[in-house]
Structure 1
Amino acid sequence: MSNTPPLPRWADLILLPVINLFVALAICGVIIAVIGENPFQAFGVMIKGAFIYPESLGYTLYYTTNFIFTGLAVATAFHAMMFNIGGEGQAYVGGLGAAFAAFLVGPFAPWFITLPLCILGAAAFGAFWAMVPGYLQAKRGSHIVITTIMFNFLAASLMVWLLAGPMMLQGQQSPQTAIFDTSAHLPKMSEIFAIFGVKIAKSPLNISFLLAIVALGIFYVLIWKTRLGYEIRTVGKNPEAAHYAGINVARTIIIAMAISGAFAGLMATNEVLGVHNRVILNFTAGYGFTGIAVALMGRNHPIGIFLASLLFGVLYQGGAELDFEFKSITREMVLLIQGMIILFSGALAYMFNPPLARFLVRIGLVKGVQDA
């Protein structure tokens, strides 16, 4: 009997995710056909709704920005072999950090002081919220999955109390803060382009998208080009060997979780500083959980995370157009399409690994592994 050879890196990072995506879309196409709609027409509307229609590209990249931050959060922790599913709570608390900086500094300082402090506040609060589960994992042996889940609930309860109480805008019933001073508003991309005389459609897309691109670069340098990144990856591969090599495993775990939380907290810059200009209830809208699928589908690599984030941005924006254009394709059907892609890129990510490896061996791109 032959053993299945490992996939080459290019096949694992590119070919296998593409196969998973096409299988998920094929199944969704069959479902759409069963309910009486043309799947090719439906997917065409989705693509047009994500890229072609006025404002559509801006909305797609706006969603993409959120997924980049939450995907980086999951990927950072995963390189240390920790499954951080608390990105939702960390992003939520990150919005609180941005708000504190906006209210404390915004009325008295210009934008070039206020905005960096708001961004740092979002990252710092997110880092703190993730660092506590990291400490409990490193020092007390508490399972990171359980603690990050619990901290999601704690963050939600904390924000409900704050937004419906001490931080609630006076004179109204909606659980939200007052609007930030204009010095704490991230400019929209349409406003930036207008400065150079280029007119683009207005959308929620703001310069936090550029911040997300910078974050992808920082993630790459951190994980693969620094000593800390080497320690994070070593701890993830083998904590005992890392300890034997002189790496402080507990400290590395705590730092990795803090960096993970900082990336998640930065998601608040897009929503809180760039779109709402205030903190509103449930502004995270599940982006933290979708970030898990983004990291898995992107194989915890910055290029893969960007492409996976763009894909889910297309699904969110294009899916809204599907719901609008087709009576029989409801919002629930759009969620089914998203869920199917998450299923094949997450739980079933390696289902096609063995047949793909055997196919690559058959055509000579991979050498087979023979039994002794």
Structure 2
Amino acid sequence: MDKMPRWADVALIPFINLLLALVVSGLVVLYIGESPLEAMAIMVRGSVGSAYGWGYTLYYATNFIFTGLAVAVAFHARMFNIGGEGQAALGGLGVAVVCLSIPWPHWSLALLGAIAGAAAFGAAWAAIPAYLQAKRGSHIVITTIMFNFIASALLVYLLVNVFRVPGSMAPETARFAEATHLPNAYDIAPWLGFSRSTPLNVSFVVALLACVGVWLLIWKTRLGYEIRAYGHSQSAAVYAGINPVRIIMISMLISGGLSGMMAINGVMGEAERLVIDPVQGAGFVGIAVALMGRSHPIGVFLAALLFGMLYQGGAELEFEMPAVSREMLLVIQALVILFTGALDNMVRAPVERLFLAMRKGS
């Protein structure tokens, strides 16, 4: 029998980790001479206290859902894919190629094409490190992080020398045709108070569908069972007839495709063109999201929402409380990552002992 119930692992421990991170963050804010309670109130009000705040919070959360799911799928196969930055950047290239090369008659068709293009380019970029691990034994952490830098350099080269608009000095593609522009929250639900400039768009719905798809894949299909079996014990999986090369390749292709799909939100939905650094760190945030969400789609969604609140609330906090600099906000975000990831066992061990003692006492 497990040492503690599933709900404690999925909900209680992350909640305690988050609470500890907020307490330590509050002490940091207090140290610089500001009120932690006032800072928290500003962050909450700025992120979820208005339609404006919700628009940006859910926009950021959309990015983190895609990259969090990507890391989660690889986690289930016991692979640490930290190449989300590069895979998402190449996904943005796929979106740009699809949107610029085909005269789409309607945004819905363009969205389907962009999903395919983003997933294909992201998966292709993940396929090389996957092959190197499956066939050559190269460590997936080393190769994926190296490919982040290669993707960044490749994207800069293409934007400067291939896709840049003639006569323009800006390293970016031409703006996509109006028919490819995705409806934002104002177009869909203006009665909720969203403004025309809100970045939240229909790619949020695609992210929710991706959560459902990953849940069905991992827990309701034979392939998902094989991925989880391989992740729990490679030797037992091989003994059961599961091909490790196949699992590594498929898991990383799915992971890379999900990372690539992040570009639908930022490249197609918000910028409506491909620019330098379209990912802006979301690939690395996805690691924390997957860790905090226990690699489960529901947990990933909730963790992505939390980090979306931290990003949007942090921007408002920086504006309203100048003593809290951008670097200080990074410290707060890093503390959340630290307690939910690296220091997870610091909370897990005593909680397990508590439940074990309660079970023995009953």
Q: Same fold (TM over 0.5)?
A: yes
Match for residue 201 of structure 1? 195
User: Do structure 1's residue 167 and structure 2's residue 187 form an aligned pair?
Assistant: no
Aligned length: 359
The match for 1:234 among 222, 229, 236 is 229
The match for 1:355 among 342, 346, 350 is 350
The match for 1:247 among 237, 242, 251 is 242
- Displacement of 1:314 in angstroms is 0.5
- Displacement of 1:359 in angstroms is 2.5
- Displacement of 1:331 in angstroms is 1.1
User: Whole-Å Cα distance in 2 between the matches of residues 198 and 23 of structure 1?
Assistant: 34
> Could you report, residue by residue, the CA deviation over 1:209-258 in whole angstroms, capped at 9, with x for unpaired residues?
00000000000000000011011111111122111111111011100000
More helix by share: 2
User: Whole-Å Cα distance in 1 between the matches of residues 206 and 37 of structure 2?
Assistant: 35
User: Whole-Å Cα distance in 2 between the matches of residues 44 and 183 of structure 1?
Assistant: 41
The match for 1:130 among 126, 132, 145 is 126
Match for residue 81 of structure 2? 84
- Displacement of 1:199 in angstroms is 4.9
The match for 2:285 among 282, 290, 293 is 290
User: Do structure 1's residue 274 and structure 2's residue 273 form an aligned pair?
Assistant: no
- Displacement of 1:198 in angstroms is 5.8
CA separation of 1:43/1:199 partners in 2, compared to 1, >3 Å: closer, same or farther? closer
The match for 1:39 among 30, 36, 39 is 36
The match for 1:333 among 325, 328, 340 is 328
User: Whole-Å Cα distance in 1 between the matches of residues 353 and 240 of structure 2?
Assistant: 37
User: Whole-Å Cα distance in 2 between the matches of residues 303 and 110 of structure 1?
Assistant: 32
> Could you report, residue by residue, the CA deviation over 1:84-111 in whole angstroms, capped at 9, with x for unpaired residues?
0000000000011111111111x25433
Match for residue 101 of structure 1? 98
More deviation in 350-359 or 47-56?
A: 350-359
User: Whole-Å Cα distance in 2 between the matches of residues 33 and 97 of structure 1?
Assistant: 46
CA separation of 1:355/1:158 partners in 2, compared to 1, >3 Å: closer, same or farther? same
User: Whole-Å Cα distance in 2 between the matches of residues 271 and 97 of structure 1?
Assistant: 13
TM-score between both structures, scaled by the size of structure 1: 0.94
Seq. identity, %? 54
Match for residue 147 of structure 1? 143
- Displacement of 1:272 in angstroms is 0.6
Could you say what secondary structure the match of 2:7 adopts? Answer: helix
Runs of 4+ off more than 4 Å: none
- Displacement of 1:183 in angstroms is 2.2
**Unmatched tracts of structure 1, length 5 or more:** none
> What amino acid is the match of 2:340?
S
- Displacement of 1:354 in angstroms is 1.7
The match for 2:54 among 53, 57, 62 is 57
